Amino acid sequence: MFRATKIAALNVALAAMLVATPGLAQDYPNKPVKLLVAFAPGGPADSIARIIGQKLNDRWKQTVVVENRGGAGGNIAAMQGAKADPDGYTILVTTSAFAVNQTLTKNPGYTPGDFKAAAVVATTPNLIIGAPDLKANNLKEAIEAARTQKMTYGTAGAGTTPHLSAERIFKLEGKVDIPHAPFTGAGPATQAVIGSHIPLASVALSAAVQNVQAGQVKGLAVTSKDRVKALPNVPTARELGLGEADDTTWVVFFVPARTPDAVIQKINADVNAILKDKDTEDQLEKIGFMAVGGSAKEAESYVQQETSRWGDIIRRIGLEAK
């Protein structure tokens, strides 16, 4: 009798959970949502969070707060996001550093299994920039100068794809060792180049496209297959004979792994709807991004493929995990 009562109670609880999940999606969000950005203001993750966050705010009629937690190549925010309540009210906004750090960092503080990808939002090529007083006018000239001059280059942090793009180009293609100076985000790295505190930086194009257009920094090369419309005078690394890779930085929205599927689907559907909006497309294109979108399942598959691809590149370059 006691056993039957326990089984009956368990069945009631399970039924309640099944009923509650669709209800949770229907009610979501009914309070403020936090976009936990893994890098400092001014970089690609921050730019995307603010554009999409405002649109979600309008769509959901709920406050969407952007919180920047830069540091450790995105790992600090990822660790915090992994520990968040799995209810959809904390969304980690990070870049391809999420995939890179699984190989580059010995103990990043989280695993891919701690998260589910809710949406691949956008991608942008990587861009290598030079200080205004740098004599070199393109990346090939900068590499030649680095053979006789002491240089460093900045990035948004170790483990970002601009970091790996630069390492691959400098070490494998240019056969030169230029020391890396990690910052907490692409914004601070770009500002350091503007002020000539460092001669070079490798950042997502979106972080410095307007600075190149304004003449505040030199655009030395983009890592895309073709030149980008926003910077038609900046050559590709391919044109300069520096490899055939087509490297991009992507921005993905992640939620804790135990977040209900119905909530993930809600986030995914609303982000996709926003990405199809002409105003969103125009805002993204203005800063050098291309909207992606797609299902949550496709987002999961994409992140897995990128994790494998960048892992192979890290091993080829020979970067040591820290």
Q: Ramachandran region of residue 226, left (φ > 0), alpha (ψ -120 to 50) or beta?
A: beta
Above pLDDT 90, what percent of the chain?
Answer: 81
Distance CA 7, CA 2 (A): 9
The domains located in the chain, with CATH, are 2-124+249-317 (3.40.190.150), 125-222 (3.40.190.10)
The one-character DSSP state at 140 is H
Q: How far is CA 3 from CA 190, 241, 246, in A?
A: 66, 74, 62
Share the mean pLDDT of the chain. Answer: 91
Count CB-CB contacts under 10 A for residue 37.
30
Q: DSSP secondary-structure letter at 138? A: S
Contacts of 301 (CB under 8 A, 6+ apart): none
How many beta carbons lie within 10 A of that of residue 61, not counting itself?
A: 9
- Say which amino acid occupies 260: P
pLDDT surpasses 80 at 8: no
pLDDT at 73 over 60: yes
Q: For the beta carbon of residue 114, count every other beta carbon within 10 angstroms.
A: 17
Give the tokens for residue 268.
Answer: 């995914």
Give the residue-averaged pLDDT of 190-210.
96
pLDDT digits (tens, 9 = 90+) for 16-50: 444 444 455 679 999 999 999 999 999 999 999 99
> Where is average pLDDT lowest: 22-26, 62-66, 143-147, 156-160?
22-26
**Mean pLDDT along residues 110-139:** 96
Q: Please, what is the Cα angle at 299 between 296 and 304, to 5 degrees?
A: 135
Pull the structure tokens for residue 230: 């926003």
Tokens of 29: 């969000």
Kindly tell me if the per-residue pLDDT of 309 is higher than 50. yes
Q: 168 to each of 49, 163, 175, 249, 257, how far by Cα in Å?
A: 29, 9, 9, 15, 33
Predicted pLDDT of residue 246: 87
φ, ψ at 201 (rounded to 5°): -150, 150
> What DSSP string describes 1-13?
-HHHHHHHHHHHH
At residue 88, does pLDDT exceed 90?
A: yes
- pLDDT tens digits, 228-254: 988 999 999 999 999 988 899 999 999
Distance CA 35, CA 189 (A): 22
Q: In terms of DSSP bridges, do strands 115-130 and 248-256 run parallel, antiparallel, or are they unpaired?
A: antiparallel
**What amino acid occupies position 47?**
S
pLDDT value of position 60: 98
CA dist., res. 232 & res. 211, Å (int):
14
* Residue-level pLDDT at 321: 55
Question: What phi-psi label fits residue 33: left (phi over 0), alpha (psi between -120 and 50 degrees) or beta?
Answer: beta
Two structure tokens written together for 92: 């980690």
The C-alpha atoms of residue 72 and residue 78 are separated, in whole angstroms, by 10
Give 186's pLDDT tier (boundaries 50, 70, 90): very high
Q: How far apart are CA 309 and CA 141, in angstroms?
A: 29
Q: Based on the number of CB atoms within 10 Å of its own CB, is 126 exposed (0-12), middle (13-18) or buried (19 or more)? A: buried
Paired tokens of 320: 């040591």
Please state the φ and ψ torsions of residue 135, each to the nearest 5 degrees.
Answer: -70, -30
- Helix axis angle, 44-60 to 261-275, nearest 10°: 100
Q: What is the pLDDT of residue 287?
A: 87
Helix (H) or strand (E) holding 163: helix 161-167
254-284: pLDDT as tens digits? 999 999 999 999 999 999 999 999 999 999 9
